[in-house]
Amino acid sequence: MQEDDIRARINALVEDEHDLRQRLQAGEISTEEEHARLRQVEEQLDQCWDLLRQRRARVEAGQNPDEAAARPVDEVEKYLQ
């Protein structure tokens, strides 16, 4: 996945997040549905940001950024910031 593709995916996920909040306010989905879907969106966002950071780190280290790979949610979610 190229950097532009990752940024596009991040933007799409952020739009999904806003849409979910609007749908909840409009009464189109329940709080439980919103929370469950938001959790999935946030996990995917974390994976995308991690992949973007990996690519940039590989470039700085003189390595091929295309060799970076998305890590599993469990691994990404356990990072300390």
26 contacts 13 by C-beta, under 8 angstroms:
no
Tokens of 67: 């060799």
Of the listed ranges 18-22, 42-46, 64-68, 75-79, the least confidently predicted one is 75-79
Closest by CA position to 14, among listed 54, 57, 46, 52: 46
pTM of the complete model: 0.87
Which residues form the domain of 35? 3-63
Residue 79: inside a domain: no
* CA-angle at 64, arms to 12 and 7, nearest 5°: 10
pLDDT tens by residue, 11-54: 999 999 999 999 999 999 999 999 999 999 999 999 999 999 99
Q: How sure is the predictor about 78, in pLDDT bands with cuts at 50, 70 and 90?
A: confident
Residue 49: inside a domain: yes
Residue 72: inside a domain: no
What distance, in Å, lies between the first and last C-alpha atoms of the chain?
A: 24
Q: How sure is the predictor about 56, in pLDDT bands with cuts at 50, 70 and 90?
A: very high
Whether 81 has a pLDDT exceeding 60, the answer reads no
- Residue indicated by tokens 């974390």: 46
Closest by CA position to 49, among listed 6, 4, 5: 6
